[in-house]
Chain A
Amino acid sequence: MIPAQFEYVAPKTLEDALRLVERHGDEAKILAGGHSLLPLMKLRLAQPRYVIDIGRLRGMNYIREENGRIAIGALTTHAEIESSDLLRAKCPLLAETAATIGDIQVRNRGTLGGSLAHADPAADYPAAVLALDVEIIAASTAGTRTVAVGDFFLDMLTTALRPGEILSQVRVAPLAAHTGTAYEKLHQPASGFAIVGVAARITLGKDGTIEDAAIGVTGLGPKAFRAAAVEKELRGKKASDKLFAEASRHAARGVDPLSDLHASADYRREMAAVYTRRALGRAFARAQGKA
């Protein structure tokens, strides 16, 4: 497995990178950690003329608090997210999700920005970032713009990023009070990708009713999505195992699940319900301060 030839450029600053991305248009691919792009290039399914390596950009690898939100640089690796004390304390869902990606070697190289921009239908992060309502910052030579994550994933391998844009940062709000989150994943046994991955976030009111619920689902269809029907069933109701079980049945509503060697559409649909219920159960326990 050998990639086809390409021209390599490694800009030092984001500005240079953006100019290159703009200049080369769809003849270029952006290389971050390389764990989404290089496999495709080795298979020669992707044969870009230019590879723009943004891995050397300074100041794109950080996790810090900014104006009450947590800002994560696009080049932050899965391993860094997994082990970040800040995230573990204030946004544990991202750390928990990162820890389920591939294996440690992959997590040491793969980046948050690379994974999100690639929008693999079976990637783990999309479920979590949807459940967390993150903001995605896209940079271009014209400046930056903010994309709400709900508008970000358009289709299989397709995002709202425009030609000439580089995903530069992800912003996420710290966990609110009385809130619990969890990521539950049924992994494909060979590749470790998600057959179904469900990220849940639950905020409880004082009386134990569910004030807010957000469910992100990956692996099921061509793109990750919010299970709005489940969320609707939960909001304003008193949390219970029974409620979670009933609400979870709607996890796949409106989605035409994928079918492949590892799981049929039916099985994926059923597992979406099971894993939604499991994620809700764990998120609930955490919202109560348990587990």
Chain B
Amino acid sequence: MKLTGQYILPALPAQVWDLLTDPNRLAKLLPGCERLDPDGPDRFKAAVKFGIASISGKYAGTVEFAEKNPPNSMRMKLSGKGLAGFVDGEGQVELTEKDGQTELRYTGKAQVGGMIAAVGQRMIEGAAKKIVDQFFAAAAEELKKG
């Protein structure tokens, strides 16, 4: 599954960068994130309780940053595993300044396996979009707070 999108975030790229790479603040933005603990350089262990309405489950996974080029671009790797299956995602995040705000573009691929792949076909893409939207909406909120 390919994921692409763009968001305007109400802060300068440097501030957005700080937010995205600060595990403590990031943990608050990731939907359902219960814990985000360092696990090596630019790598974090995550415990996420994720749900949309009736569908919910706990996932254990990792978040990784690579090819960091502050405050312009980086690669983000996400992986999670739970009873319902696993999710692996990798994408490129680009930040550019636009009128004192940041335009964030991401392009990536996500792979879903296990039960959710076998039965969740018609929901997966919608769910992925929803999570990403939630994440950036939360990021925008956080940045507004300054």
Q: Which residue of A lies closest to B118 (CB)?
A: A43
CA distance A47 to B55 in the complex (A): 8
CA distance A260 to B55 in the complex (A): 19
Tell whether, in the assembled complex, residue B129 and residue A222 are in contact, meaning their CB atoms are under 8 Å apart.
yes
Task: State the majority secondary structure of interface residues on A.
Answer: loop
Please name all residues of chain B whose beta carbon is closer than 8 Å to the beta carbon of A44 when the two chains form the complex: 83-84, 115
Tell whether, in the assembled complex, residue B125 and residue A29 are in contact, meaning their CB atoms are under 8 Å apart.
no
Number of B residues, CB within 8 Å of A: 21
Please name all residues of chain A whose beta carbon is closer than 8 Å to the beta carbon of B57 when the two chains form the complex: 45, 47
Please name all residues of chain B whose beta carbon is closer than 8 Å to the beta carbon of A19 when the two chains form the complex: none
Number of A residues, CB within 8 Å of B: 28
A157 at the interface (CB under 8 A from B): yes
Tell whether, in the assembled complex, residue A260 and residue B54 are in contact, meaning their CB atoms are under 8 Å apart.
no
Within 8 A of B (CB), among A46-89: 46-48
Tell whether, in the assembled complex, residue B84 and residue A156 are in contact, meaning their CB atoms are under 8 Å apart.
no
CA distance A45 to B51 in the complex (A): 9
Within 8 A of A (CB), among B93-145: 115-116, 119-127, 129-130
CA distance A256 to B128 in the complex (A): 13
Q: Which residue of B lies closest to A161 (CB)?
A: B53
- Shortest C-beta distance, A274 to chain B (Å), equals 20
Q: Which residue of B lies closest to A29 (CB)?
A: B54
CA distance A36 to B57 in the complex (A): 17
Please name all residues of chain A whose beta carbon is closer than 8 Å to the beta carbon of B83 when the two chains form the complex: 44
- Shortest C-beta distance, B58 to chain A (Å), equals 10
CA distance A40 to B123 in the complex (A): 12
B56 at the interface (CB under 8 A from A): yes
Q: List 13 A-B contacts (CB under 8 A).
A: A40-B54, A43-B115, A44-B83, A44-B84, A45-B56, A45-B119, A47-B56, A121-B126, A222-B130, A258-B125, A260-B124, A262-B121, A262-B122
Please name all residues of chain B whose beta carbon is closer than 8 Å to the beta carbon of A118 when the two chains form the complex: 53-54
Tell whether, in the assembled complex, residue B119 and residue A259 are in contact, meaning their CB atoms are under 8 Å apart.
no
Please name all residues of chain A whose beta carbon is closer than 8 Å to the beta carbon of B129 when the two chains form the complex: 222, 256
CA distance A48 to B55 in the complex (A): 9
CA distance A40 to B84 in the complex (A): 11
6 smallest A-B Cβ distances: which pairs? Answer: A157-B53, A46-B54, A222-B126, A156-B126, A45-B55, A260-B122
Interface centre among A45, A119, A122, A222 (most CB of B within 10 A): A45
Excluding A45-B115, A45-B120, A158-B53, 13 further A-B contacts by CB distance (< 8 Å) are A44-B115, A45-B54, A45-B116, A121-B123, A156-B127, A156-B130, A157-B52, A157-B55, A221-B126, A258-B125, A259-B125, A260-B124, A262-B121
